[in-house]
Amino acid sequence: MRKILIIIKSVSVTRRILLWLLVLFCWLNYSTVLPEVQARQPSPAELEAIQKETKVVFLDFLQLWQEERYFELYNYGNQHSREQISIEEFATRMVELDWVPLGLHPEKRSEVSYHYRTFLYVIATIVFRHKSDFDLQFSRRQSFLLLKESGKWHFDLLQMIRSPFYSPPK
């Protein structure tokens, strides 16, 4: 009977030790290994270079859209959107849109909203013109997602198909 009590006490002590070791391990893990990790933010020079690069890409993209050169515009699409829609379907859907961009609004500057080295938004106010009624125009502030894939900036093509959401007043 005495041996059983000794065994029970030793098991109880072992459980307590293991529990304390588990708590200590969790605390050490939390305090040293799992603190919030921060990615290195780009220097002001790197950020300026990224902004210049994306503005050039965005202006090229906008120029192709203005000229309705949709097959070339398709090449600016990111991998995910090109998997979702074929080049023929993209061009057909873009032709069906009633509105084309005239360009950037002259009084409102576009800006680049940096989120990560390969992920950012270009926010611009674009003036749109109706394809058949050239006098009908409107401007709209839009944000365009850009992802860097294979060293180049790419857009979401499906956003282009859905853009712009406007119906003129009747």
Count, residues in the chain: 170
Q: Residue 154 has which token pair?
A: 């790419």
Domain identity same for 18 and 50 = no
Residue at 168 is within a domain: no
Residue at 156 is within a domain: yes
pLDDT tens by residue, 24-71? 777 776 666 545 555 567 788 888 898 899 999 999 999 999 999 999
Opening angle at CA 81, ends 80 and 83, nearest 5? 65
What domain count does the chain have?
A: 2
Domain identity same for 81 and 29 = no
The pLDDT of 66-78, averaged and rounded, is 94
Residue at 170 is within a domain: no
Residue at 166 is within a domain: no
Domain identity same for 64 and 141 = yes
Beta strand 137-149 with 119-130: parallel, antiparallel or unpaired?
antiparallel
Domain identity same for 13 and 48 = no
Q: pLDDT tier at 168 (50, 70, 90 boundaries)?
A: very low
- Enter the DSSP assignment of 63: H
SS3 98: coil
Q: What is the residue range of 1's domain?
A: 1-37
- Enter the DSSP assignment of 77: B
Distances in Å between the Cα of 67 and the Cα atoms of 62, 103, 157 are 9, 11, 16
Domain identity same for 32 and 50 = no
Residue at 69 is within a domain: yes
| Predicted structure pTM score | 0.69
The pLDDT of 159-165, averaged and rounded, is 73
Domain identity same for 127 and 66 = yes
Domain identity same for 76 and 114 = yes
Domain identity same for 54 and 89 = yes
Residue at 111 is within a domain: yes
- The yes-or-no verdict on residue 166 having pLDDT over 60 is no
